[in-house]
Amino acid sequence: MSSLPQSYLVNPDRLRSVFEAQRQAFAEHAPLPYARRMKALDNLLAAVLKYEQTFIDALQSDFGRRSAHETRLLEIFPVIDEIRHTRRRLRRWMRPRAASVNWQFRPSRAQIVYQPLGVVGVIGTWNYPILLTLSPLVNALAAGNHVMIKSSEIAPATAAAITRMIGECFSENYAAVVTGDQHVAAAFAGLPFDHLIFTGSGRVGKMVMKAAAENLTSVTLELGGKSPALVHESFSMADAADRICSAKLWNAGQTCVAPDYALVPIHLLDEFVHHGLAVISKRFPTLLSNPNYTNMISEAAWLRMQSLLDDAQKKGAQIVQVNQADEKLTAGSRVFPPTLVLRVEASMRLMQEEIFGPILPVISYSSLEQAVAFINAGPRPLALYYFDHRRSRINEVLARTTSGGVTVNDCIFHLPQHNLPFGGIGPSGMGAYRGFDGFETFSNKKGVLLQSHWVGAFCDRLMKPPYSDRTNWLIGALLRRGSQRSIEKMSLPESFPR
C-alpha cells in the first residue's frame, strides 16, 4: 500500500488553518464567475484523464485486486461524463430563474438566484473512492464553492493519488484534500462548513450529522441499506437472474446500490437459482486469479461475509457457492466466492444488516402484495429494482414502495443518469446530488421579489397602520374569494376610492 504524504496526515490545527484559508479566499473572490468555474472543471477533467492509470493501480493496491475494467467503467468514466455534462449546461444553470408571483402582487416579478454556499466539506468513502469523492467535487465547484475533501483512510493508495491530483489542479485555498484516521474524520466533520456531504455507513452517518448539528451545518448523507430486487412472474427468469447477479457482483458486492436480496415467485424459485448459478459460472469461471473478480477490501470484510453465512446456516439456510475451479479461498486471499442463500429467515444477520459483499439471499413470495409488504416492513432502501413489463403493475409498485431511487428491469443504472437525483431517504440517507440536483444542493436558492411601483404603493396605503375600514374590506375579500375575478365582481364600499 502507498503511504500518504506526511503533510496530509493532518491534525485538527492544520484542518482549521486550511478551512480558514478557504473561507477567507471565498470571501475575497465570491461569487466566482462562470469563466473561473469552467476553468476549474477543465482542469479537473484533464487531471482525471491524466491520472486514469494511476487510479487503476492505486485501487489495485488498496483492494489487493480490483477489476481495471470496473474501475474505468464504474468510476473514471462516470466522473468524466459528469464533468462534460456539467460544462455543457453550467451557463444555463447559473442564470436566475423566473418564478411566478401570487396574483395579488402582479405585475411584480420574482426570480430564483443560485449563489454558492461557501466552503463545502466532502467526506469520501473507500468502495468507490474516485466516483464518490470526485462527483460531489464536480457539483460543488460548478456551484462556485471552495471545497475540502476528507478521503477514506481505508483506501490509502487511492487517497494519496487523489491528494496529488487535486494538489496539481488547484491552490489549497480553493480545493484541498486531507487524510487521516477516524480522529481526523471526526475533527473534519466538526468544522463549520457551509454544507457537508458524507458517503458511508448509517452508523458513521449519525456521528457526522451530530457533529454537523453543532454548527448548524446542512448535510447530504448518502448511506445504503438493503436494496431489494423484485421479479414478477411474467418476467424472464434468465434475464432477471443475469442482471441481478451481475450487478450484485460488480466490485464483489461492495456497492451501496447493489441488490441486497432478490424476491422471486415461489413456483419460479428453482428456475431463478438455476439461471443465477449459470450466469455466475459463465462470468467467473475462476476466482483466485481472475482479473475481473474484485477482492474484498480487507480480511475483516472477508471474515464478516463468512460470519454472515455461518449465522444463516445455523438457522437453517441453504448455502450455494460458485467456485467452479474448487480453489481454496481464505481470508488471507480476500477472495470471497459468489454465494446464493436459500431458505432465508428474517432473524438471520444477513437479513438484518446490509450485506456489502458477494452474497445474494433469494427469497420466494406467493403474491405481489406479499412481496411489496415484505419490502415495506423494512427500512426504506437506497434503491429498488423491479422486473416487469406491464406498466400498470410497475406504477403500482412505484406508488406503494418508497426508496431513494429505482431502476425498472435492470439494476444500478439509475445512478449515472445526469437528470435524475441520486440520494436516499430515511435510514438510506437524505438529500441528493448529481447533475442539476448536485448544482442545486451546493447552492443557496435565493428567492428575490422585484416589487412593482403600483403594488408597492397599494400595500403602503392599505396594508400598514393605521388600519381602516378599507383594510378590513381587503382582508375579508382575500379570505372569502379565491381569484382576482371574484374580487373584482364584489361591490366596493362607499368610502373606497374608485
Residue 491's pLDDT band (cuts 50, 70, 90): very low
Average pLDDT over residues 481-496: 49
Q: 256 pairs with which residues across the strands?
A: none
pLDDT, tens digit, 9 for 90 and up, residues 286-306: 999 999 999 999 999 999 999
pLDDT for residue 53 is more than 60:
yes
Average the pLDDT over each of 149-153, 242-246, 450-454, 461-465 and give the range with the smallest value: 461-465
- The percent of residues above 90 in pLDDT, for the chain, comes to 85
- The percent of residues above 70 in pLDDT, for the chain, comes to 94
- Residue 464's pLDDT is what? 87
With b for 16 or more beta-carbon neighbours within 10 A and e for fewer, the 359-380 pattern comes to bbbbbbbeebeebbebbeebeb
pLDDT, tens digit, 9 for 90 and up, residues 263-287: 999 999 999 999 999 999 999 999 9
Average the pLDDT over each of 121-135, 195-209, 461-475 and give the range with the smallest value: 461-475
Q: What nine digits make up the cell of 130?
A: 474516485
What CA–CA distance (Å, rounded) separates 150 from 170?
Answer: 16
The length of the chain is 498
Those residues whose C-beta lies under 8 Å from the C-beta of residue 102, and which sit 6 or more positions away, are none
- The residues carrying an active-site annotation are 222, 256
Neighbours of 484 (CB within 10 A): 11
Average pLDDT over residues 111-124: 97
Higher pLDDT, 15 or 3: 15
- Residue 311's pLDDT is what? 98
- Residue 10's pLDDT is what? 59
Q: Across the chain, what does the average pLDDT equal?
A: 93
Residue 181's pLDDT band (cuts 50, 70, 90): confident
Angle formed by the axes of helices 12-29 and 182-189, nearest 10° = 40
All structural domains of the chain: 6-223+436-446 (3.40.605.10), 228-420 (3.40.309.10)
- Residue 163's pLDDT is what? 96
- Residue 481's pLDDT is what? 67
pLDDT for residue 488 is more than 80:
no
Average pLDDT over residues 304-320: 98
pLDDT, tens digit, 9 for 90 and up, residues 340-384: 999 999 999 999 999 999 999 999 999 999 999 999 999 999 999
What CA–CA distance (Å, rounded) separates 224 from 85?
Answer: 26
Those residues whose C-beta lies under 8 Å from the C-beta of residue 380, and which sit 6 or more positions away, are 225, 402, 403, 404, 424, 425, 426, 427, 428
pLDDT for residue 480 is more than 90:
no
Average pLDDT over residues 39-56: 98
- Residue 7's pLDDT is what? 42
